[in-house]
């Protein structure tokens, strides 16, 4: 890890664009980019509603006008900002940029591109599947409340408030979530891994590719030259793997291993 980071170049340009899959630690890394941009760029409120700029998934304020904006309108906003010499801080998740990729790679060709990957791919897959199973049980909207009374995200994946760990456990019990293999989710995951490695990394000009497991808070502070007072934290006692029954885990593992040994290992991932 140390050797890899010693060879990792600091940003050569002012603007940085983060690209990753979901559940890769992008909120953590983007927090530093967001604060850095306050010095010279444009930042929106620091929530995923805005930071996942091209996402159309439900977030903490499903009634917000921003959720109704098409990709075309969002692209127009980015172009307008650039015409004033301004760039917007946001993170790009692979599923949301596939359909706009030809435009995206051209628009950001002069940025420092930071591609974030999770080396422990099986754990990454279990996390993706875990939240897919929750959405299958709760329905697509995993937010309760309204703009007047406030919102409560019922499927948190990190500790931003002291009770987030209790909320996810409560959601699993309330909706009687079953954690099983899902072929649609699996196919999407496979396609996203391929797109990240075969298209994003290959078609961009020398992007900085880094493993989430290799970076630390200290490294991020040194890389972006900013310090954050508050950071989202991983769960302390919550373990996704314990929610899969042994017989279901056996099926999930067998399907994953077949794809890993035939393909994923060649991207540098580990079977962990």
Concatenating the DSSP letter of every residue in 214-231 gives G--HHHHHHHHT---S--
* pLDDT bucket at 149, cuts 50 / 70 / 90: low
Q: Does the residue 47 lie in any domain? A: yes
Q: Does the residue 16 lie in any domain? A: yes
**243-262 per-position pLDDT tens digit:** 999 999 999 999 999 999 99
Phi-psi region of 92 (alpha: psi -120 to 50; beta: other; left: phi over 0): beta
Q: Does the residue 272 lie in any domain? A: no
Q: What's the whole-model pTM score? A: 0.88
pLDDT for the residue 145: 56
**16-56 per-position pLDDT tens digit:** 999 999 999 999 999 999 999 999 999 998 777 788 899 86
- CATH code at position 245: 3.40.50
- Number of structural domains, the chain? 1
- Please give the Cα distance from 195 to 101 (Å, whole number): 10
**172-220 per-position pLDDT tens digit:** 898 899 999 999 999 999 999 999 999 999 999 889 999 999 999 999 9
- Under a CB-based contact definition with an 8 Å cutoff, are residues 134 and 177 in contact? yes
Are β-strands 112-117 and 208-211 bridged in parallel, bridged antiparallel, or unpaired? parallel
Report the largest interatomic distance among the alpha carbons of the chain, rounded to a whole angstrom: 57
Q: Is the pLDDT of residue 9 over 60?
A: no
- Please give the Cα distance from 219 to 208 (Å, whole number): 15
Phi, psi of 208 (to 5 degrees): -80, 115
Q: Does the residue 138 lie in any domain? A: yes
Q: Does the residue 189 lie in any domain? A: yes
Partner residues linked to 144 by β-bridges: 152
Phi, psi of 189 (to 5 degrees): -60, -45
Host domain of residue 213: 2-231+238-267
- Under a CB-based contact definition with an 8 Å cutoff, are residues 212 and 24 in contact? yes
What average pLDDT does range 227-233 have in this prediction?
A: 84
- Please give the Cα distance from 115 to 197 (Å, whole number): 10
């Amino acid at each position: 890890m140390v050797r890899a980071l010693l060879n990792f170049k600091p940003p050569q340009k002012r603007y940085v664009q983060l690209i990753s899959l979901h559940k890769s630690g992008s909120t953590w890394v983007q927090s530093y980019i967001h604060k850095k941009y306050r010095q010279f760029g444009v930042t929106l409120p620091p929530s995923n509603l805005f930071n996942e700029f091209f996402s159309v998934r439900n977030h903490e304020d499903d009634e917000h006008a921003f959720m109704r904006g098409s990709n075309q309108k969002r692209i127009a906003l980015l172009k307008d900002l650039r015409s004033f010499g301004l760039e917007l801080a946001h993170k790009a998740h692979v599923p949301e940029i596939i359909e706009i990729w030809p435009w995206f790679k051209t628009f950001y060709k002069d940025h420092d591109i930071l591609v974030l990957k999770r080396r422990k791919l099986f754990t990454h897959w279990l996390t993706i599947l875990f939240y897919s199973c929750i959405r299958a049980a709760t329905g697509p909207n995993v937010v309760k409340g309204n703009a007047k009374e406030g919102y409560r995200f019922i499927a948190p994946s990190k500790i931003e408030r002291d009770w987030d760990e209790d909320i996810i456990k409560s959601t699993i019990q309330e909706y009687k979530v079953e954690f099983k293999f899902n072929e649609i989710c699996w196919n999407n995951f496979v396609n996203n891994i391929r797109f990240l490695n075969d298209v994003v990394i290959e078609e961009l000009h020398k992007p900085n590719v880094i493993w989430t497991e290799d970076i630390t808070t200290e490294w991020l502070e040194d890389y972006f030259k900013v310090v954050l007072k508050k950071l989202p934290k991983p769960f302390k006692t919550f373990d996704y793997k314990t929610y899969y029954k042994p017989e279901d885990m056996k099926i999930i593992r067998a399907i994953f291993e077949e794809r890993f040994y035939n393909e994923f290992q060649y991207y540098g991932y580990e079977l962990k």
